Structure 1
Amino acid sequence: MTNTQPARSRQQRRQDTLSRLEQDVDCWVATAAADGEPCLVPLSFVWHEDGVVVCTRRTNPTGANLVRDGRVRVTLGSTRDVVLIEGEGELLTDDSRTTAADAFAAKLTWDPRAEKGYVYLRITPRVVQAWREVNEIAGRDLMRDGTWLD
């Protein structure tokens, strides 16, 4: 089934992407172990201070991989409405952890701070792409090197 709608402008795609980041609650997070073993998991998230904040146990492969290496990919949506983010992950500590955890709990109605071993990780986007159908693939780049394109 092919979409017969015209391709969205970059401005519209950016607006749609930011809306998804604000409204969606789940994403797919892809990392790799030191030996290259891939790891892909669904996680809940909040868009907070221009980053994707996820929460998982530090000992889970995703947490361990992000703390060790920092490289990560995040996807939102279905195969016919994709947002792909390549970014850098970091472990949140101190005040940044507190504000991110507050935002996470407010959006998701679950507060992992009540559980043992959970950490908050911020994924700062470096590349953002969005497309729906083949007619949007050519213009899918919305961000490069951490800067939104006009």
Structure 2
Amino acid sequence: MQVHPVVEAIPPVGRGTGIDAQSELEPLPWDGAERRLNADAFCWLATVRPDGAPHVAPLFAVWSGSRAYVSSKDTARKSRNLTGDSRCVLTTDVDAAHVIVEGRGVRVSDQDTLRRASEAFEAVYGWPTTVAGDLLDAPFGAPTSGGPPYAVFEIEPETAFAFPLEGTFLPTRWRFL
């Protein structure tokens, strides 16, 4: 299912912004954000620790349909955080834009969703994973990952943002209703 969120420009007009009020720049179209979310680039996931403190970690993330997917060792801090409090923020920096997705991440275990995530990880990163029960297995993982197998979390977006590094588009907000 494709989702087309409500888009709005974030007014950048003001002293020091480098964009004047008469600029002909437009907000970034949602497909531009999706393309960046599916780039072979590192992402960062911010989660909430049990004491309410933030936790941020780099990881692979992919976008498929209307959701983001991340994988994590089920004993990792980010996995434990998402299990306790689903609020999270996923960020990446691709093609002169910072893209940020705020939402909720829940662990998935159904075979169809795991296969979709596995196929997306292969397509984006060339990372060959296979569904093994309610986890993804792989012949290798990041040195700091704890090694396979991995739990998969599906992030349902609530709000997303894109901020240009250069004057190529207006700062943009998307709301998922």
TM-score, normalisation: structure 1: 0.78
Query: 2:163: which partner in 1?
Result: 131
Alpha-carbon distance in 1 for matches of 2:121, 2:24: 33
| Greater RCO (Cα-Cα under 8 Å, separation 6 or more) | 2
Unaligned runs of 5+ in 1: none
Query: 2:67: which partner in 1?
Result: 51
AA in 1 matched with 2:86: G
Alpha-carbon distance in 2 for matches of 1:42, 1:7: 35
Deviations 1:43-88 (A, max 9, x none): 111111211111111111111111221100011117x621111011
Matches within 5 A, 1:1-150: 6=23, 8-10=25-27, 12-77=28-93, 81-95=97-111, 96-110=113-127, 111=129, 112-114=136-138, 116-132=148-164, 139-141=171-173, 143-144=174-175, 146-147=176-177
After superposition, the CA RMSD in angstroms is 3.0
Unaligned runs of 5+ in 2: 1-16, 130-135, 139-146
Change (3 A) 1:135 1:102: closer
Alpha-carbon distance in 2 for matches of 1:23, 1:134: 19
Alpha-carbon distance in 2 for matches of 1:26, 1:59: 21
TM-score, normalisation: structure 2: 0.68
Question: Is the Cα–Cα contact under 8 Å of residues 62 and 68 in structure 2 kept in the other structure?
Answer: yes
**Percent of pairs identical after alignment?**
27
Change (3 A) 1:16 1:137: closer
- Deviating 4+ runs (over 4 angstroms): 2-7, 133-139
- C-alpha displacement at 1:139, in angstroms? 4.8
Alpha-carbon distance in 2 for matches of 1:105, 1:24: 10
Alpha-carbon distance in 2 for matches of 1:7, 1:70: 39
Change (3 A) 1:64 1:19: same
Q: Which has the higher helix share?
A: 1
Alpha-carbon distance in 2 for matches of 1:13, 1:101: 27
